[in-house]
């Protein structure tokens, strides 16, 4: 299974459009917030189901956290601002471990991050629009095949 992971798109459609050809080949897309309305645009352009949360720059009335099962893994998705992810993953880890998450998707920092912590995979795809901290504009593709999990960072 292929899962496209995007975050912090900030309504910059020209950048989202560069990612669309990659996302069309996914089985699911996860949007980790900022801007929630972009998730609807991505769905319209790809036809792929999008699981999305709101971030600190969103004003829609939608979920700010999601917990769901997909491809045999338990996902926890949030934007990350409520867990101070710009200063580390400690608060996020506490929440994810309490939820029993296998894969944790977050954004907010605009910096790419992919690391296994206490057996769970934490992924921040960075930003399609406004990268920070030496990251490039981009997103991630997560490939799950049974117990094999691969993360590919895609630069646009």
Q: How many CB atoms lie within 10 A of CB 43?
A: 16
Q: Which positions of the chain have pLDDT values less than 50?
A: none
| Domain tally, the chain | 1
Rounded Cα–Cα distance for residues 1 and 39 (Å)? 20
Q: What are the tokens at 15?
A: 């950048």
pLDDT for 148: 93
pLDDT for 37: 96
* Strands across the sheet containing 2-6: 50-52, 28-31, 2-6, 138-145, 148-155
pLDDT for 71: 96
pLDDT for 103: 98
- The HSE-up count of residue 53 (CA atoms within 13 Å, CB side) is 25
Rounded Cα–Cα distance for residues 75 and 136 (Å)? 25
Rounded Cα–Cα distance for residues 14 and 147 (Å)? 35
First-to-last alpha carbon distance for the chain, in angstroms, is 22
pTM beyond 0.85: yes
> Which residue range forms the structural domain that includes residue 139?
2-155
Question: What CATH code is carried by the domain that includes residue 91?
Answer: 3.60.21.10
Rounded Cα–Cα distance for residues 2 and 153 (Å)? 13
């Amino acid at each position: 299974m292929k899962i496209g992971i995007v975050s912090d798109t900030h309504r910059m459609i020209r950048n989202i459009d560069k990612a669309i050809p990659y996302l069309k080949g996914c089985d699911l897309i996860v949007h980790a917030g900022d801007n929630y309305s972009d998730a609807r645009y991505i769905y319209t352009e790809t036809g792929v189901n999008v699981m999305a949360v709101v971030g600190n720059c969103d004003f829609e009335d939608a979920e700010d956290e999601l917990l769901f099962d997909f491809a045999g893994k338990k996902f926890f998705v949030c934007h990350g601002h409520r867990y101070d992810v710009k200063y580390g993953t400690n608060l996020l880890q506490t929440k994810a471990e309490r939820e029993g998450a296998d894969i944790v998707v977050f954004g907010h920092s605009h910096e790419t991050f992919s690391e296994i912590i206490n057996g769970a995979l934490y992924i921040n795809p960075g930003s399609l629009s406004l990268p920070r901290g030496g990251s490039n504009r981009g997103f991630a593709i997560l490939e799950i095949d049974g117990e094999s999990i691969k993360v590919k960072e895609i630069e646009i």
